Amino acid sequence: LSVTSINTVIFDGQKPGTSGLRKAVKVFQQQHYTENFVQAILDAQREKLLGSTLVIGGDGRYYGREAVQKIIKIAAANGVSKLLVGQNGILSTPAVSTIIRKNKTLGGIVLTASHNPGGPNGDFGIKFNCENGGPAPDAVTNKIYELTKTIKKYKIVNDLHVDIDKIQSFSIQVDGKPFTVDIIDSVNDYTALMKEIFDFDSIKKLLQGSDGNSSFNVLIDAMNGVTGPYVKRIFGKELGVSESNMVNCVPKEDFGGLHPDPNLTYAAGLVNAVKSDPYDFGAAFDGDGDRNMIIGKKAFFVNPSDSLAILANNLNVIPYFRKTGIKGYARSMPTGAAVDRVATKTNIQCYEVPTGWKYFGNLMDAGKLSLCGEESFGTGSDHIREKDGIWAALAWLNVIASVKKPVEQILLDHWGIYGRNFFTRYDYENCDSDKSNKMMDYVENLINKNDFVGTKLKSGNKTYVVKEADNYSYKDPIDGSVSSKQGLRILFEDGSRIIFRLSGTGSSGATIRLYIESYESDPSTFVQDPQVILKPLVDISLNLSKLGEYTGRDKPTVIT
């Protein structure tokens, strides 16, 4: 087969956001659009590309199969030697990271828009992961973006078509050089890794009941996303969970109409089921399998910021960490600071990074980080370089199997020791971009005023004194790179925080995120509703930002 060079046109806005390029499917379907971006990804790897191996797979959403075929043709034309492609084009984001690391490939291309809805009218996305298995850092994504602004041609092997439904190794000659596509089992490598990390025997005993203990009843919801086959293999086959306790486990191109985002709003199906039936534990994952939501009996909600702290506090029950030791913890800036308290008490370093998993990579590669998390239902460790939904559920089950307490009791005991960092996030989705930007400018101006520090902000009988305020900027301690404008922060003297950020994962319009945190040491508050405890700060935030006036919204789309 031979390579053809196609003249193309330039598309504006092929700028990767928090996690790859995400746009409506219809945008990707435009002639040349996907090809341009893939060519730019490959060109950004330049010298390393010839003879390289890449991993290709995605969350199974609509347009994924077409994109895989395009990538095969373009990779073949650009001197890549080998592709490892998930069967049917399916690989969860954590599985891609696993396979890149295991095979020491140059990287991988992940076809996902994560938790954004799918289908012909939904979203699609393309993300490049580097040789460490993690999302490309800003330097690489900026390079890709620059290339999309000047691209004139892309190279393609038009007559190449590989059956991606069949496990096989397919080889051909492209311009006299060998090119191989291995269609691989989507779940094998990932399953093997999980079995190395966790104590499957003790989890199995917990789930099935032993030593006079009754069985621990779980409900696992794959939300029609990519985790279905992983859930069935790991929870079903390996751990013996019965079919009826694993729901929505067939990946669907449109996620069956679900919004595959594991939170209290979009995973209401799981929440309601666990509320009304005698389950001890529920977990849901997002479209591409890197997010998790954990709930206990009667749908007792585990806030992701608490989840991170609890895992930190119990990490030594997990075989993997007994082997590697605990090198450090990290959280993204808006994530509640509960983990910081565990770090202080155990004298382990804790890092704060901007939103997005790519910022944890350098610290992990440098051996400074074992466990990290984000408030956005992301938890993970240095076993790979992506957050990992199934890993998080297994980590919880491993902890429960060891401490032998129900979820709620684990939380209560934790707060009893450390106090409680109350946390909530308000999302205002699909706002007008212009107006949202104006609101952010308005708040930034306000908090930059000379006399803002020291201001007393009041609501009801609560008064908060501003200690510090800025637009968060981060200097990577490993490579010294600086990422600025990562969110407006108002920090108060009592440790409470208000943060405003614009989402970088949407495909149109703007999503405003308001993050609120406050610490309480009085045990009588621990069982109270965060919405009650945090109401004064919510009111202060909404007044101060004039969010209602700017956006016309009187309530958020999602509250976490």
Residues in touch with ligand VG1 (CB under 6 A): 18-19, 114-115, 286, 290-291, 332, 355-357, 374, 376, 378, 503-505, 513
Rounded least distance, CB 125 to ligand VG1, Å: 8
Partner whose footprint covers residue 52, from Co ion, ligand VG1, none (CB < 5 to 8 Å by kind): none
Residue 225: closest CA among 138, 153, 287: 287
Partner whose footprint covers residue 378, from Co ion, ligand VG1, none (CB < 5 to 8 Å by kind): ligand VG1
Q: How far is CA 153 from the centre of its chain?
A: 33
Write phi, then psi, for 479 (nearest 5 degrees): -110, 0
Residue 370: closest CA among 197, 164, 547: 197
Nearer to Co ion, 96 or 246 (CB): 96
Partner whose footprint covers residue 306, from ligand VG1, Co ion, none (CB < 5 to 8 Å by kind): none
Q: Alpha-carbon distance 214 to 170, whole Å?
A: 50
The two three-digit tokens of residue 403, written as one number:
């401490």
Q: Alpha-carbon distance 32 to 14, whole Å?
A: 12
Binding site for Co ion (CB under 5 A): 114, 286, 288, 290-291
Rounded least distance, CB 261 to Co ion, Å: 8
Nearer to ligand VG1, 285 or 418 (CB): 285
Please tell me whether residue 131 adopts helix, strand or coil conformation: coil
Rounded least distance, CB 532 to Co ion, Å: 31
DSSP 235: I
The two three-digit tokens of residue 398, written as one number:
């491993």
Helix axes 93-103, 389-403, angle to 10 degrees: 90
Nearer to ligand VG1, 251 or 378 (CB): 378
Catalytically annotated residue among 19, 97, 114, 436? 114
Nearer to Co ion, 291 or 327 (CB): 291
* 202 is annotated as an active-site residue: no
Partner whose footprint covers residue 357, from ligand VG1, Co ion, none (CB < 5 to 8 Å by kind): ligand VG1
Nearer to ligand VG1, 110 or 203 (CB): 110
Rounded least distance, CB 208 to ligand VG1, Å: 31
Q: Alpha-carbon distance 72 to 413, whole Å?
A: 52
Nearer to ligand VG1, 114 or 381 (CB): 114
Partner whose footprint covers residue 319, from ligand VG1, Co ion, none (CB < 5 to 8 Å by kind): none
Rounded least distance, CB 20 to ligand VG1, Å: 8
Residue 507: closest CA among 19, 143, 144, 32: 19
Contact 405, 356 (CB under 8 A): no
DSSP 559: E
Q: Which residues of 361-389 are buried (b: 16+ CB within 10 A; e: fewer)?
A: bbbbbeebbbbbbbbbbbbbbbbbbbbbb
Partner whose footprint covers residue 245, from ligand VG1, Co ion, none (CB < 5 to 8 Å by kind): none
The Cβ-side half-sphere exposure at 288, using a 13 Å CA radius, reads 31
Rounded least distance, CB 288 to Co ion, Å: 4
The residues carrying an active-site annotation are: 114
